[in-house]
Amino acid sequence: MSNKTLVIAEKPSVALDIVRALTPKSGKFEKHDEYHENEHYVVSSAVGHLVEIAAPEGQDPKRGKWSFANLPVLPTHFDLAPIDKSKGRLSALAKLIRRKDVDRIINACDAGREGELIFRLIVQYAQPARGKFEKTIERLWLQSMTPEAIRDGFANLRADAVMLPLADAARCRSEADWLVGINGTRAMTAFNSRDGGFFLTTVGRVQTPTLSIVVEREEKIRKHVPRDYWELRASFDAQAGRYEGKYIQPGFKKGDDEHARADRVWDKAQAEAIAAAVQGQPATVTEESKPSSQASPGLYDLTTLQREANSRFGFSAKTTLALAQALYEKHKALTYPRTDSRHLPEDYLKVAKETAQVLSKEGLAELARHAATALAKDYIKPTKKVFDNTKVSDHFAIIPTLQAPGALSEAEAKLYELVVKRFLAVFFPPAEYQVTTRISTAAGHQFQTNGKVLVNPGWQAVYGKEAQDEDALLTPVAAGEVVRTESVDVKGLQTKPPARYTEATLLGAMEGAGKLVDDDELREAMNERGLGTPATRASIIEGLLNEKYMLREGRELIPTAKAFQLMTLLRGLEVEELTRPELTGQWEYQLNQMEKGKLAREAFMAEIARMAERVVAKAKSYDRDTVPGDYATLKTPCPNCGGVVKENYRRFACEACDFSITKIPGGRSFELPEVEQFLVDKRIGPLEGFRSRMGRPFTAELQLVFDDEIKNWKLEFDFGDDKSEDDGQPVDFSGQTSHGPCPKCQGHVYEHGSNYVCEHSVGAHVTCDFKTGKIILTQPVDEAQIHKLLHTGKTDVLENFVSNRTRRAFKAMLAYDKKEGKVVFEFEPRPERPAKKAPAKKTTKA
């Protein structure tokens, strides 16, 4: 019996690709339940992570109460535990690893830190408890999933010794996450649960600093006080026609005032005086015109691809990663997507030309033409902007492969086109402009007009920008001509707070977390690092959303009260290192150093253990009644005694008596204007966004009720008319006309209480759960709109929705989402704009 090589891929689809690539040279494979086998190879796969690390037996805090008595948890070694849903696959792989005729194992998991960890933990789990493990291990490192690339990878396998530093970094990442997550989460949960109840408070090595960035931005937004300012726009009459200019302060320099601009006047009287001074006056004109060029952006790494797809199409980071992974694995159309490099190896020039050749014949119609142009004009040259070995680590930039894709979904096609455009554009010459700055001076005051004429589109031709926009052309003024100030418009405006993060801008902030650091040396040291890795950033954002630390509203990410509460706690306990981007960036840097063999695993883990000990010690020793923070004093007096009501860490409480109410009833946080209104009116709602103990969303009113037993007011939920929906009593709809068919069961939909409901969702025999509010976020939904929703699937655009959290008005359609089984918001597509943002349709729960 000849010895065989076991190949372990990360997913079954990759295992199948490897089998197909090896068959021509090594012979036909026979298919078994969990693997493929021929004379030389056994090929199988994991299904992602099959094993997770666990504390050694007897030290697992899951078996004990979540209390300080069991903390800190600092095991001397980590045991492994199978992940329940994948036990069958793990058992099958363990048997293959132990087979006596298998003397060599090839790690064919994804080329990166996580792929290395998946493989190492499986092999460790499968090793016998006693005796030596004497099988040779090698690494298959794939950047592309085409058959040629797979065969080339097998011809250039990496030795196990070369991969051990990456394996160390992978284990450290996993164990560090476990140590900080277990100790931090359990310490904060124990602290928050001291007064009874169970308040799960999760923290993480990367998620908490990421959340801190979002919370700090929201704090700036909330603290922003609008300042009035005025802009002046003058209309000038020249011989050739009319043009506009904006008033600018001569010699303006940016100072400490972040809102100061050259075109802002802070005093209304001054603005009106300038307008009066120049009205009807002659103006002299000076012009400066010079050529300008703009080079193409670099190739995509994963983070820039995720940011662009979020900006253009509204794709979440998670969606973009899944699409890119499918284009890599399933369609073989893109190179490895989980990369942080935006360059190609210097020996890749030939492949780049071959790729353009494929695109010129089989690419998308317009792009095929540009690929042919790049080849015909010899644009693809060995430039450092594209080909640079010093900017390529284990992976290079995301580019198309030599394999043209077959049938793609609409979303896959959009992402593939983005990558193809960027790949072609990067070789095209710069776009060339003629930029003109005109200064019109009237009565000593200067007005500026800018013009920008596209002379040669260069790379922008790939994005469809062939012709110049008309509004960029300036009305010509003859040399020495004096124009007349025809009119001046004084416009009153207000400063705006910084914009909320979207996934695109948060990914950018995570990638450039070092820029948020004040210390010059640390900032320089973090220049090439950030929060997480390109492969993990999407899952970090999704984790924060799943934990309800953030909400998506349209494209904005909004931190919840739970997020503010966590930041207040960490700051108050003086364990702010958990919130600091520089610390996590430093850890990521150290893991990268470890991958290069420049840092010992033991040194890194010792540092993590010291931090875990300190976090637990701080929380355990904290003995103040409340956590210090930036808390509010309410304007409304206590309903019980007329005293002053103040916010503290967990409640709104009166200083003079025992009155208090929770800040987060039913998992939904009170905004300050809401709690003020609630104390005045003793009632508020109906409000959306509450969640039951089972995690189900519900809508209800809140009321303050006087309790004679405690001689004080207490908060209660009031479900109003909707109580009758759940009391099991028959409901008579005979006097009503049906608004239309139920989209879930085709029953009739009628008005009932504060909702429109399916006739089968109420009464004694409930078989359906369809209902939607008659008022949603302050927007009434009248009979005509519910009729339209039920008969066509969506309403007209309704303009008076008001966000519960931001208090901002927005407009949207209501649409029935079959997959979600409920009514959701659907936003109008953005207008098509060449080379900018393409239409995006986004739905959120209504």
> How far, in Å, CA of 845 to CA of 823, rounded?
7
| Cβ-contact 663, 679 below 8 angstroms | no
CA geometry: angle 462, 829, 310, nearest 5 deg: 60
Sign of the CA dihedral with 324 first, then 535, 182, and 550 last: negative
| Cβ-contact 756, 736 below 8 angstroms | no
> How far, in Å, CA of 507 to CA of 540, rounded?
10
Smallest CA-to-CA distance from 102 within 155, 40, 144 is with: 40
| Residue showing tokens 């400063």 | 495
Structure tokens at 91: 């058992």
Angle between helices 160-192 and 581-595 (to 10 degrees): 160
Q: Write out the E strands in 655-764.
A: 660-662, 683-691, 697-707, 712-718, 749-752, 755-758
| Cβ-contact 26, 41 below 8 angstroms | yes
DSSP states of 688-704: EEEE-TTS-EEEEEEEE
Cis preceding-peptide flag for 673 (omega within 30 of 0): no
From residue 786, give the alpha-carbon distance in Å to each of 180, 757, 775, 789, 833: 50, 11, 11, 5, 33
> How far, in Å, CA of 767 to CA of 770, rounded?
10
Smallest CA-to-CA distance from 777 within 721, 836, 824 is with: 824
| Cβ-contact 105, 46 below 8 angstroms | no
Q: Terminus-to-terminus CA distance in the chain, angstroms?
A: 65
> How far, in Å, CA of 209 to CA of 9, rounded?
33
Angle between helices 317-329 and 12-26 (to 10 degrees): 20
Radius of gyration of the chain (CA): 32
Structure tokens at 712: 């004080």
Smallest CA-to-CA distance from 688 within 771, 749, 746 is with: 771
| Cβ-contact 654, 643 below 8 angstroms | yes
Structure tokens at 765: 């025999």
Does residue 336 carry a catalytic annotation?
A: yes
Report residue 370: phi and psi, to 5°: -70, -35
Kindly report the three-state secondary structure assignment for every residue of 376-435: HCCCCCCCCCCECHHHCCCCCCECECCCCCCCCCHHHHHHHHHHHHHHHHCCCCCEEEEE
> How far, in Å, CA of 731 to CA of 745, rounded?
18
- Of the residues 336, 348, 416, 589, only one is catalytic, namely 336
| Cβ-contact 180, 612 below 8 angstroms | yes
> How far, in Å, CA of 213 to CA of 312, rounded?
23
CA geometry: angle 474, 475, 478, nearest 5 deg: 115
Smallest CA-to-CA distance from 142 within 308, 296, 13, 234 is with: 13
| Cβ-contact 400, 334 below 8 angstroms | yes
Catalytic residues: 336
